[in-house]
Structure 1
Amino acid sequence: MKFLVILLFFNALTWAEETGECQCMAALKYHSSHPTCTLYEMAPFESADCNDVETCQAECQKEWDAVTNGGDLNYILDDGTVLGQSMCTSLKEEGYHNLQPSTVYLAYNLCSGGWKDVSIASDMLLCCEGGVYPGEC
């Protein structure tokens, strides 16, 4: 019986090492190629393995297109909130009430390997005034 439990444990451990998690987010960048400020996190998904960068990027782009309607910050989310307002609310919760017009970028993180830019950006600029998204900057 102990042998069976040990065998199942190592089998699960091996499976866990072979699969990974891909996370996607909309972010701001400051003087760097790495995202530095999270604006909107998308639901993570399972990746085939921790070296499958192409699939992670492609799935993040699909999620980005679905959440932003192709980069539109005026897109209305499932909860009825405008995406740009959701992002300004996130910034306000972090203590940033105002944001000059800025580009929003898509980033991914595969197996906790650090956030990387996908080189996809919003079609419009994001700005916040007192934590409120005015719709146009």
Structure 2
Amino acid sequence: MKTFLLAVTALLAVGFVSSQTEAWCRCAMFVSSNSAEIMVYELPEVNITDCNSHNQCKNRCTNEFNVMTNNMDLWSTVDGETVGHYICQDLYSNFIFFIHNSYVHAYYEMCGGPWEYTGLDSQQMLCCNVGQHEHCISR
């Protein structure tokens, strides 16, 4: 009987905690390497109605990526600097000094779940050299 009461109490606690959680959706850009996925820039969170709204989260992040990066154009300017510049500066501030010939991929995360691919990629490859956005040279 004690085990049953403990199980019921645990389930009620989980239900109470999950009902208190607000829905949230994160949007971020990543590059892939042989050994890791590296978050290169996180955009502002977007609002969603609940934690079952995968399409809503994906669509709102896709819209945010397109608006804030001019359709994932790394050479587009925002407030006088390129989109790539903002990414390279963010990487530099996190001690990642070099990125070469890497496409940037757009992902979303909803309510603490896994990062999911939106289907968007950068128009150009990203190259960062000690925080500076540079044109990539293919080898």
* Class of the TM-score when normalised by the shorter of the 2 chains: 0.7 to 0.9
Query: What percentage of aligned pairs have identical amino acids?
Result: 25
Deviation at 1:30, TM superposition (A): 2.9
Give the whole-Å Cα distance in 2 for the aligned partners of 1:110 and 1:17.
16
Correspondence 1:38 to 2:39: yes
2:46–2:61 contact (8 Å) kept in structure 1: no
Give the whole-Å Cα distance in 2 for the aligned partners of 1:39 and 1:102.
11
Correspondence 1:29 to 2:32: yes
Give the whole-Å Cα distance in 2 for the aligned partners of 1:105 and 1:88.
15
Q: Can you give the 5+ residue segments of structure 1 that lack an aligned partner in the other structure?
A: 1-12
Q: Can you give the 5+ residue segments of structure 2 that lack an aligned partner in the other structure?
A: 1-15
Q: CA RMSD in A?
A: 2.4
**Map of 2:80 onto structure 1:** 80
Deviation at 1:135, TM superposition (A): 3.9
Give the whole-Å Cα distance in 2 for the aligned partners of 1:128 and 1:38.
14
Match of 2:24, SS? strand
1:47–1:55 contact (8 Å) kept in structure 2: yes
**Map of 1:132 onto structure 2:** 132
| Structure exhibiting the larger radius of gyration computed from Cα positions | 2
Output one character per residue of 1:47-104: Cα deviation in whole Å (capped at 9) or x when no partner.
1111110111111110010011111001222x43211011111111222211111000
Correspondence 1:105 to 2:108: no
Amino acid at match of 1:81: E
Output one character per residue of 1:28-59: Cα deviation in whole Å (capped at 9) or x when no partner.
12348xx8222221111221111110111111
Deviation at 1:130, TM superposition (A): 2.4
Give the whole-Å Cα distance in 1 for the aligned partners of 2:103 and 2:20.
36
Match of 2:118, SS? strand
Structure 1 residue runs of 4+, over 6 Å off? Answer: none
Whose strand proportion is higher, 1 or 2? 2
